[in-house]
Structure 1
């Protein structure tokens, strides 16, 4: 059994995509995932399964589509990968609430940061299947656009640390 972390895109953000975490937990249990738990109401799910990443993603996305009536993106990481995302943070000196990892399905292209727009004080770096962003002055006033991150989903380092710890239990 592998422990997975599922990160949903555009759930419970800005009043769109409302999905009670109790419903998400029930969906995961309905498709046979075990030791299911959620973390904060922004689409974070920790569970175990015999299935690999692609199969887990497919099952969750189908359940979510049936529930929402539209596609809901899901990014999957193993417990070890979540720990690596945390350890690989290129901005460890920055407060955890000012650094995000944008999770992607694939490794970012070598030129993924070439077409970033509206960059101000933000610092960016590519990871294995993530793009890290340090919002020096905070995210509230940032107008940063990262086309390579369009289908990804972001979590701040504080949330990643908690998810990594929960997944390691």
Structure 2
């Protein structure tokens, strides 16, 4: 049966979106998912379902809404698509996981979003930034040498959350790799 990674945006971050992971696992299991596992407290779920990723995302979002009174975007990748995310990393030279992030999206960026990302990277470089970004499919890869907390590019992107997919949800590379390992457990 297909295994998926479900990434929930804005869970247990900054004092809002409180969702106990044990309760989330129980609620998802009650909805028919199997092999439900979570990683850390920020909305990372690996689960098994015969449904396609879009249907899984809808069901998980429904659980958040109905069980936790939260309206949050959920992005889901199937096992093979998620493995391709790691293989497609355009910044393989980055070895510090806190310097590399992936923004997972429900849909590929539009042409306007691609242009805005390019403009943001170029504006940063004009100001001496070493930050970089690349888009592959539904993922925006961010190389942030000084980390996301000090990132001008990260700050610019976090204000662009009005897209239909909620702007996506970011994970550092350590989390990206750990979720890939969980798919194989």
* TM-score computed with the length of structure 1 as normaliser: 0.92
Please list, as runs of the form range in 1=range in 2, the aligned pairs for 1:74-89 lying within 5 A after superposition. Answer: 74-89=74-89
Per-residue CA distance 1:15-47 (angstroms, 9 max, x = gap): 211111101101110100001111111101111
Please list, as runs of the form range in 1=range in 2, the aligned pairs for 1:2-151 lying within 5 A after superposition. Answer: 2-94=2-94, 95-116=96-117, 117=120, 119=124, 120-144=129-153, 145-146=156-157, 147=160, 151=167
1:168 maps to 2:169: no
Greater helix share, structure number: 2
CA distance in 2, matches of 1:25, 1:12: 15
Equivalence for 1:156: 172
Shift of 1:11: 0.6
CA distance in 2, matches of 1:69, 1:48: 24
- In structure 2, the gaps of 5 or more residues are none
RMSD value over aligned CA atoms? 1.7
Per-residue CA distance 1:104-160 (angstroms, 9 max, x = gap): 111123453322446333100001101010101212211321237752000111111
Matched position secondary structure for 1:101: strand
Per-residue CA distance 1:45-80 (angstroms, 9 max, x = gap): 111111111211111111101133231111001111
Is the contact made by 1:82 and 1:163 (CA closer than 8 Å) also made in structure 2? no
Shift of 1:7: 0.4
Aligned pairs, number: 169
Is the contact made by 1:86 and 1:157 (CA closer than 8 Å) also made in structure 2? no
CA distance in 1, matches of 2:21, 2:3: 19
CA distance in 2, matches of 1:143, 1:84: 28
